[in-house]
Amino acid sequence: MKTGRIGTFTVALASVIMAIFSLRVWLLPTKETPTTFVSQLENSFEPVTHIPDFSAINDVVEKKRAFFDFLRPIIAQQNAIISTERDFIIEILALVENDEAIPQSQLLQLEQLFAKYQYAARTVDTKTLRSLLKRVDIVPESMVMIQAANESGWGNSRFAKEGFNFFGEWCFSDGCGLVPSSRGAGKNHEVKVFESVDASVSSYMRNLNSHAAYNLFRSIRADLRAQELEPSADQLIYGLVNYSERQEAYIDELLDMLRHNSKYLEKVDA
C-alpha cells in the first residue's frame, strides 16, 4: 500500500512543472509585479469537471478501483505542486543559513506561500522558514483517497456530484455552497461548491496544511520527517481527530476503511 511516498510519476510531474515555470519566467517581459510561480503552478493543469457515474458500476471491486484510479492522478498533481513549493522553501532556507541575500523575486514568491498557507511571518529567518516547511508538505495519497471515499460516499454524494466537493468542506456565508438537507435549526453552514475536482483536492490539502484544527496532523508528520521516516496514512489519520464531530469514532472508521481497502489502493499496472 502506498503511504505518501512521492512516486516516479509525481517526481517527473514536479520536474515538468518547474521546467514550465522556468521557461515562462525567462520568456515573460519584465513587469513591476512579476507573476509568481504559486499561481502558475495552480493553473498548470486542465481542471477535471466530469465525475464518472460510480453508482452505475455494479461490481464492488471494480467500483472501488475506478474511484481510486479517478482520484489518483489529481492527488499526484496536487502533491507535486506542494513538493515543488517545499523544494523552493528549502532553497531559501539554505540561503538564509549561509547568510546570503534572498533575491527580491524570490521574496515575492515566498510571500505568496506565506499567504497561501496562512502563516503570518514578520521576518524571514530560519525559524519562520522551518515553521512554513511544517505546513508545506505532501498528504499521503492513500489517506486522501480513503477520506474522499468516506466523505463523498464513494463519489455518489450530492455534494460531490453537484459541487465537486469530495471532502465535506464547509463554508459559512449565505449562498457560498449547498445547504445540507439535514442541517439543524440555528445552523448557518453550507457545503462548499468548487469549480473542479482539482480545486476540491487542493482546498482539502491546504486546509490540513494550514488550519489550526490540524496542528496535530502537521506535528505527527514533522516528527516523522525529523526521524527521516516517510509519513504514512495509518500514522497521520490520527491527526484528523478534529475533522469530524465524531472525533475518535471517525478516526477508527477511517483506519478500518484503510485496512479493508488496502489492496484496492495500490495502482494496478497495465
pLDDT digits (tens, 9 = 90+) for 105-161: 999 999 999 999 999 999 999 999 999 999 999 999 999 999 999 999 999 999 999
CA-to-CA separations, 36 to 41, 76, 84, 109, in angstroms, rounded: 9, 22, 13, 5
Res. 20: pLDDT tops 50: no
**Which amino acid type is present at position 251?**
I
Res. 66: pLDDT tops 60: yes
Question: What number of other Cβ atoms are within 10 A of residue 23's Cβ?
Answer: 10
Q: Average pLDDT of 30-58?
A: 79
Q: pLDDT band at 209, cuts 50/70/90?
A: very high
DSSP state of 177: E
Q: Average pLDDT of 208-215?
A: 98
Identify the pLDDT of residue 107.
93
Task: Give the Cα separation of 203 and 235 in Å (integer).
Answer: 22
Q: Domains of the chain (ranges plus CATH)? A: 8-265 (1.10.530.10)
Task: Give the Cα separation of 10 and 138 in Å (integer).
Answer: 11
